[in-house]
Amino acid sequence: MTDVSQVRALAVLGLGRSGRPATLLARRRLPQTRVWAIDEGEVDGEVRAELEAAGAAVLAGRDVVAAGETALPAAVELLVKSPGVTDESAVLRAARRRGLPVWSEVEFATRFLANRLIGITGTNGKTTTTTLVGRILEDAGLPVAVGGNIGHALANLPEVVTPKTTVVAELSSFQLEDIESFRPDVAVLLNLTEDHVDRHGGYEGYVAAKLRIFENQTAEDIALLNADDAGTIAAGDVPGQGRRAWFSTGDGAEGQVAGVSDGRLWVEVDGRRQDLGAVAGLSLKGEHNLQNALAAAAATAALGVSPESIAHTLRTFAPIAHRLQVAGVVGGVTYVNDSKATNVDATLKALTAYRGPVFLILGGLSKGSAFDRLAEATEGLVKQAVLIGRAAPEFERAYAARAAAAPGSAVPYVTLPDLAAAVAWCAERAQPGDVVLLSPACASFDQYRSYEERGEHFLRLVGELRAEVERT
């Protein structure tokens, strides 16, 4: 295992949200270590000035691209990689060819964090569950910091949090694929379904990256899993020595510590079931959010939060932005922003929250998944599929195939150039009681910088619709 205090020179690759704080952390905590900050794209002048003022050597832009693998200085003994860096990076290839340790930012950051840590991963529900866990701890009066794939990069936290602060980290497969000793006290796997297969070379590689969250756990730690998720069950035994515990919307799974009985949630505390209130009283709606709530309850109960405090937060927690966020009701039509649904499974789960007629806006940048399953599964749930973005032709093929195979039940579809056109088209045709749901099943990067920007655009478009209705 690499001892970071003995590293004489390191490089941080990718100087965005994770790489910048990782570089600054290295300079603060490893003053005798030479630090290079490298980015194959251009770097903002203020960021460059900040990193250079801290004592890092900045290499970026065309010079790095032109140098290829030789851009990685010969003295470097450790590479810290931002999650957005792919295997196509020449600098990363150079590090691997030289046999250097390659760490993700979360691996590097937690070498300087002795705090109690809850790590949360899965294909869908990570942000909701991570935020909910943080809120439960906060409402219970406990010091907490939420970070990782949301909020603060973990490299921002050393020297900021107190020793008693619990760190709650949302963890993507990109962050977990390059860990070495990273070890959460409580590791939560919400679910597994096809996602990021383009990055990981297939579904098996994606699952392997996700399961790494457990591999360094000891018998003192807890590995919390979803007994309702077929992908998790199919993955088989997870690595590590953490104590296996399960949550389920049912009742009776072996090793179950949170579940539902007679319409009421429960969590196990000291071997006894404690009531958390009625399912109908949850602030978050949908089957997937029931699973998220149970995971959050089990994780926080394991750290000693009282059932009464957990139940209070479950009743009062507000939905997060871009995840089944009601953008407004215009002319009796409900507009819902689910921009964070960037894969097929997330969109299917979003549909469980609605039983009325749905206009479903799909499309963006495909992650390599097929859409045939989605086209079939939306039958009976969706009134109209509205296709946008670069992936629209792929959706067209899937829906056309369903129309040929099942003409009586296939969902009708229309292709439009962008989100503004889609919202306008739906507004002209939706009737009172209908739902217009932006749940794209795709990444946003064909037309937006992030799913947040896409969701904000949707919110603005709905606001403009409302203003127009009020004027007329």
Active-site residues, by number, are: 126, 149, 196
- Characterize the bridge pairing of strands 256-261 and 243-247: parallel
Q: For residue 146, which of 314, 300, 16 has the smallest C-alpha distance?
A: 300
Token pair 């866990």 is at which residue? 133
Quote the CA–CA distance of 200 and 174 in Å, as a whole number.
9
274: part of which helix (H) or strand (E)?
strand 272-278
Q: For residue 367, which of 193, 224, 225 has the smallest C-alpha distance?
A: 193
Query: Are 340 and 346 within 8 A, CB to CB?
Result: yes
Q: For residue 324, which of 287, 294, 297 has the smallest C-alpha distance?
A: 287
Query: Are 159 and 165 within 8 A, CB to CB?
Result: no
Q: For residue 62, which of 75, 43, 46, 83 has the smallest C-alpha distance?
A: 43
Query: Are 442 and 365 within 8 A, CB to CB?
Result: yes
Query: Are 188 and 224 within 8 A, CB to CB?
Result: yes
Please name the residues in contact with 156: beta carbons below 8 A apart, sequence gap of 6 or more.
21, 25, 147
What single DSSP character describes residue 421?
Answer: H
> Would you state the structure tokens that stand for residue 438, as one six-digit string?
């932006």
Quote the CA–CA distance of 366 and 385 in Å, as a whole number.
16
Query: Are 183 and 218 within 8 A, CB to CB?
Result: yes
Quote the CA–CA distance of 425 and 415 in Å, as a whole number.
10
